[in-house]
Structure 1
Amino acid sequence: MAVVISLPKIRWLRLSFIFTGALTFYMVYTAVVWGKGRIDSYMLTWNGVKGADFLTPSTNHRHIQQQLAENVKTCSPRNQIVFIKTHKTASTTLQTIINRFGFFYNLSFVFNKNYINNGHFYFIPLTPRNQKRLFLPPLNVRLGDYSNYSNNFDIMAVHVRYNRVEMEKFMKKHTKYISIIRDPVAQWESAFDFFKFQDAFGSALSRIPEDKWIETFLDNSSFHLESLKHLWYENVLGLRWYYAQNSQIYDLGLDSTSFHDDVVINGTVKRLEQEFDLILLAEYFDESLLILKKQFCWKYEDILYFPKNKRLTRRQLSDHVQMKIRNLNRADWLLYSHFNRTLWEKVKSYGPKFDEDLNYFRHLNHRIFHECGNGNATRFYKRVEYTPRRNSSLFCQTIAEDKQSLFRRVFNRQNPMKIYHVYK
């Protein structure tokens, strides 16, 4: 028996198919175009907290579609990271990026439970005894259940000296190792200001103009370095001596007895290149983060940041003074020169889209800076601090708040003793 469909019904069916197809295309297109430009989509599954809707669609739809297409790949995010936090190298900004990543992905951190304000180890040796005595246990592990400490930590991002052999005993397998370094001239000038190396002048300090402090120190650096050995700092005798010369390569494992041995220095640098997955450069912070994102299969949202511990002013140094600083920190200079070359090799291997991706990342970071922050910068001990916008999302809070607040979130969640007030 033949089925007869009237002409009006045929037209209605055609219109229905056309409408359904158009609606489907619009939904897919909207998801593609908006998905990359909306950071709140990044937060939908984080502890059930939905982020603030603060990014408008990018006008560069083609670029966003390309980025989304690239994200549909076989790699998985690298969640296990050791970050050797060097001193005065923009390392606090990088640390907050890693802390935020670990916080939202519910990862276990290596913290010194006795340093409840920052979790640092500084120069404490990572001996098996100290691991038991000082480590905050991993998430969901009872304090003192040492058998479950081994190879059960995801992230270490504190001040600590690099020791690969010991770190492999408590970090999970396939952990990635990174650090950040800075031109030794800028790094040492910043360290001088922060750690107050002028205290080495003793009673003569009052007779030396402030704009001559660095030059005076360098004119007799051996004497002043020796003086720092006999001064207390943060309840540690001689601590500032370690900060006053070649502190970056010292943090990365080179002993001070080899500071003047170019053979040992160059051998250490080559070994670090083999053992580290990435050494970032403070002077090229955004470029370094883009390399990190690609190597670790992270998202743009993972590397957004507010600057932390940023100084308001810096000293202007003559060429002569800069040369003296490089001579004093020769090991750091060799380290920096080497990894300055390797960073640009990584940029070259990134591919032709590097500049385009860099501009896109900076655009996102500019937007989040204005949307998450309250618009005011607070001066705090010669440094700039930012605060989150009122009633902002959890994501905005963790990116804009000061380093101490973010640290407390991470430390609190993992701390079985609940020393800190728990954030709601």
Structure 2
Amino acid sequence: MRLAHVCRIQVMGFGLVLLMAIALTIQLLGIHFPKRSPQSSALRLLSPEPPSFHRTCQPKRHIVFLKTHKTAGSTILNLLHRYGDTHALIFALPFKYQFNYPNLFHSRRVKGFNSPDRPPYDILCHHMRFNRPEVRKVMPEDSFYFTILRDPATMAESSFSYYRSVSSAFKKAPSFKAFIAHPSYYYREGERSNHYARNLLWFDLGFNPNAPFTEVLAKAGMRAVESTFNLVLLVEHFDESMILLKEELCWELDDVVTFKLNIRGSSRQLEKEEVERLRAWNALDWYLYSYFNRTFWEKVEGFGRERMDNEVRQLRERRQQLAELCLEGTEPVGAEDIKEEAIKPFQFGQAKILGWAVRKDLQPNIRSRCVRMVTPELQYKDLLDARQFPPGTQNRSYPVVTPARPIGR
């Protein structure tokens, strides 16, 4: 026992001498190990490791997104804005903020379209009422078309809150509960902005929302959508939708990481009977939603359930990482709490629209990238407009192609 104790002391002494020798060598050679700063950690977070697998596909650059109303379209618009901005893609931009909505889309509403020497457009994504023949005039033949749908019951609740000040049917109703009970009493076809009050998805897709429901008509609309759009996403399964979109576009995970934009401060919980009434009132929308809900899960099965679960988890973890890096808090805040006009959400209707406050203790290049992730659609559209039609070239009627650059530079 005494011998073992002596041996342990000798081993410990040898280890101590060895550590002192290593320290002395480092000091003599002038070797030093710099400490990692919080900013260097932030840079690593903004520049994740490349995927470990080899992708054989090529990222799609020609994209048409039909931004339907009250369906998380503003959030998707942000990821398209960022991707196009980063890669210096050319957007088909409206002269203002929408393509003459609620009228059907027309190519003449695209800024610079009639110029004979304009470059081809890469992305068309701002609010319009879909009109396939005119869209095809603007966008390349190989464009990828996608849109997003929402359960018409919750969509109606959101629309009532947001568009009550403009829709004749909504304004007549003393409350949303009253509208649900007797929608036909308040609704008149052709009255101002009443397209917001019935079959709004059907309307945005370019169809007649007041057509009497028949299965033949509903199937014809469904087939038209299916033959045009390569992918139909669902609001209720937004993260799974982003994974499918990433896969179809051959993009990277960070390309589809988003923070929710244009969100309301509160919403009304619907009762089961109210849900059924609203779905019946919006029967054409409900038919579309029900059909594409089935095809959505067929795509998930084809993708692989286990793989989908893993990728959704990675997406949420990445979103959380960037939220902790970029944002002052984990919850969205009111516009009055956001001092920067560049990221303050536009307020419309009786609903309180929330946004995000970005941390101020970040390096300028890091903070700029964070700001772009929360920039609302109106402000981002202005940024893109300024890039494609820079100051001093107001007389030019076609977009200017600029080299690709990192976001915020």
Identify whether the pair has TM-score above 0.5, normalized to the shorter chain: yes
Tell me the distance in 1 between the aligned counterparts of 2:181 and 2:87.
50
Task: Answer yes or no: is the 8 Å Cα contact 1:198–1:217 preserved in 2.
Answer: no
Q: 1:374 to 1:411 in 2, by over 3 A?
A: farther
RMSD: 2.9
Task: Give runs of aligned pairs for residues 98-247 of structure 1, distance below 5 A.
Answer: 98-113=80-95, 115=96, 118-127=97-106, 131-132=107-108, 134-137=109-112, 145=115, 147-149=116-118, 152-196=120-164, 200=168, 208=174, 213-226=175-188, 229-230=190-191, 238=192, 240-247=193-200
Q: 1:203 to 1:301 in 2, by over 3 A?
A: closer
Q: Give per-residue Cα distances to partners, 1:377-423, cap 9 Å, x unaligned.
A: 3313522211332233432221123333322211211135678xxx9
Q: 1:203 to 1:411 in 2, by over 3 A?
A: closer
Q: 1:173 to 1:386 in 2, by over 3 A?
A: same
Residue 300 of structure 1, CA deviation: 0.5
Tell me the distance in 2 between the aligned counterparts of 1:357 and 1:412.
36
Q: 1:403 to 1:373 in 2, by over 3 A?
A: farther
The answer to whether residue 326 in structure 2 is matched with residue 372 in structure 1 is: yes
Tell me the distance in 2 between the aligned counterparts of 1:224 and 1:99.
38
Identity fraction in percent: 28
Tell me the distance in 2 between the aligned counterparts of 1:163 and 1:199.
23
Tell me the distance in 1 between the aligned counterparts of 2:69 and 2:170.
24
Q: 1:68 to 1:121 in 2, by over 3 A?
A: farther
Q: 1:406 to 1:373 in 2, by over 3 A?
A: farther
Task: Answer yes or no: is the 8 Å Cα contact 1:200–1:225 preserved in 2.
Answer: yes
The answer to whether residue 379 in structure 2 is matched with residue 405 in structure 1 is: yes
Q: 1:417 to 1:346 in 2, by over 3 A?
A: same
Task: Answer yes or no: is the 8 Å Cα contact 1:109–1:153 preserved in 2.
Answer: yes
Tell me the distance in 2 between the aligned counterparts of 1:124 and 1:173.
24
Tell me the distance in 2 between the aligned counterparts of 1:188 and 1:246.
9
Q: Which residue of 1 aligns with 2:311?
A: 357
Unpaired segments of 5 or more residues in structure 1?
A: 1-39, 41-49, 59-63, 139-143, 231-237
The answer to whether residue 43 in structure 2 is matched with residue 53 in structure 1 is: yes
Q: Which residue of 2 aligns with 1:17?
A: none
Tell me the distance in 1 between the aligned counterparts of 2:59 and 2:47.
25
Tell me the distance in 1 between the aligned counterparts of 2:93 and 2:103.
12
Q: TM-score by structure 2 length?
A: 0.75
Higher RCO (CA-CA < 8 Å; seq separation 6+): 2
Tell me the distance in 1 between the aligned counterparts of 2:42 and 2:52.
21
Tell me the distance in 2 between the aligned counterparts of 1:268 and 1:204.
30
Tell me the distance in 2 between the aligned counterparts of 1:165 and 1:203.
35
Q: Give per-residue Cα distances to partners, 1:116-152, cap 9 Å, x unaligned.
A: xx2443223334xxx33x32127xxxxx52x245x81
Tell me the distance in 2 between the aligned counterparts of 1:244 and 1:202.
7
Matched pairs, number: 336
Indicate the SS of the match to 1:78. coil
Task: Give runs of aligned pairs for residues 3-22 of structure 1, distance below 5 A.
Answer: none
Runs of 4+ in 1 over 6 A off after TM superposition: 201-205
Which amino acid in the other structure matches residue 103 of structure 1? Answer: D
Residue 219 of structure 1, CA deviation: 3.1
Tell me the distance in 2 between the aligned counterparts of 1:312 and 1:405.
21
Q: Which residue of 1 aligns with 2:261?
A: 308
Tell me the distance in 2 between the aligned counterparts of 1:157 and 1:252.
14
Unpaired segments of 5 or more residues in structure 2?
A: 1-38, 336-346, 395-407
Tell me the distance in 2 between the aligned counterparts of 1:279 and 1:91.
12
Which amino acid in the other structure matches residue 172 of structure 1? Answer: P
Q: Which residue of 2 aligns with 1:343?
A: 296
Q: Give per-residue Cα distances to partners, 1:20-59, cap 9 Å, x unaligned.
A: xxxxxxxxxxxxxxxxxxxx9xxxxxxxxx995152999x
Q: 1:393 to 1:222 in 2, by over 3 A?
A: same
Indicate the SS of the match to 1:315. coil
